[in-house]
Amino acid sequence: MDFDLDEDAQELQKLAAGLLDREASTTRLEAHERSGAPYDDALWKTLAGAGLLGACLPEDLGGAGLGAVELAVLLREIGAHAAPVPAYASLTAAVTLARHGTGDLRAGLSALAGGESVITAAVREPDADLSGPATTATRDGDAYVIEGVKTFVPYAEQAARILVPARTEDGEVGVFALEPGQAGLTPHPASTHEPMSRLRLDGVRTGADTLLGAGAYETLTGFATAGAVATISGALDAALRITTEHVKTREQFGRPLAEFQAVTMEVGDVYIAKRALDVAMWAGVWRLAEGQDDAAEVLGVAAWAACDGALKALYICQHLHGGLGLDVTYPLHRHFAWVKHYAHLLGGAEAQLDAIGALVA
């Protein structure tokens, strides 16, 4: 398989990396964290102005019509810069809404492309079982009544729409585009400082026109997995760069740490974990873009690598920094928090192994 990005993806990567290098400096990230704002609105609008938020939306909605590979490219840069914007939540949900929504639901995505709105998806539930939601949607005349609980929903309070998967009476899983006011929201803490919520759906009544078309659940879970893995890949890449620079310049017993064999071996282990994750991530994302039957299985492998090997690699990076690695004001800690958080959103390594086993069986 050729893992080189095509021309469009390369240009998108250069644009995103250059913009975030300028706009997501450590000083600005620290200022945002002190502000208490849910996200950096100015940065969000800057990304929109550069066409990045609409890159993977259809052209009739103000987008560029790009696909899963380009979405991964963008979210990988967001993760590498720990940029405090609702890109993962909004873009993975937006692709689903663009493909399977109709009417006003779909038309509302133009505001997202312009940086004027946020949308999100409630994929996780209290149980880490990835076989499908326990939340139910029961038909009642021209509406549905939804019962269930969703956890760790990013930017739910700020979102114009929340995509909620629920199992219908025919056993299929549908995705409903709800408004935040329809569900009870309880704030969750998050290591990334992103606003997270627990959604309680107690007899929420919603019109049949909020149900997205067939295949929406598969699209949502596929892009949610791919997006989380890409974000972790970017964060790990940045952590490796920070660690490599540290061991080159930090001295012990009059010698740079990089000259000690044990240190170089540990840095090598981090590099191997990063490369293994990247190979699985790009293989899965390409299959998702091409509609391959085994896309979910390969993305599951990538998600397992993100939850297992990538997280262990971040612990090594922290260890190689000594006491500095525990300093929450040091940039490395921010990347560690992002990997930990997005691994949790994926359900963890054991849940991914169970899911892979079910797909293979």
Residue ranges of the chain that CATH labels 2.40.110.10: 121-210
- CATH 1.20.140.10, the chain: domain bounds: 216-360
Residue 191: C-alpha distances to residues 82, 336, 338 (Å): 12, 9, 7
CA atoms of 53 and 74, how far apart (whole Å): 9
Whether pLDDT at 319 is above 70: yes
pLDDT tens digits for range 1-36: 567 888 999 999 999 999 999 999 999 999 999 999
Q: For residues 158 and 263, give the distance between their C-alpha atoms in angstroms, rounded to a whole number.
A: 44
State whether residue 120 is helix, strand or coil. strand
Domain 216-360 has CATH 1.20.140.10: yes
pLDDT the model gives residue 277: 97
pTM of the model: 0.95
Work out the average pLDDT over 280-298: 96
pLDDT of 132 reads 86
End-to-end CA distance of the chain, in Å? 25
Lookup result for tokens 């952590």: 239
pLDDT category of residue 249 using cuts at 50, 70 and 90: confident
CATH of domain 121-210: 2.40.110.10
- The structure tokens 């219908």 sit at 168
Cβ burial of 240 (10 Å; 0-12, 13-18, 19+) is buried
Q: How many CB atoms lie within 10 A of CB 245?
A: 11
**CATH superfamily of this structure's domain 7-116:** Acyl-CoA dehydrogenase/oxidase, N-terminal domain (1.10.540.10)
Taking alpha carbons only, the member of 78, 349, 360 closest to residue 192 is 78
Average pLDDT, the chain: 93
Give the pLDDT mean for 280-309: 96
The number of angstroms, rounded, from the C-alpha of 296 to the middle of its chain's C-alpha atoms is: 16
Number of Cβ within a 10 Å radius of residue 354: 17
Q: What is the mean pLDDT of residues 207-226?
A: 96
User: By the 8 A CB rule, do 1 and 65 touch?
Assistant: no
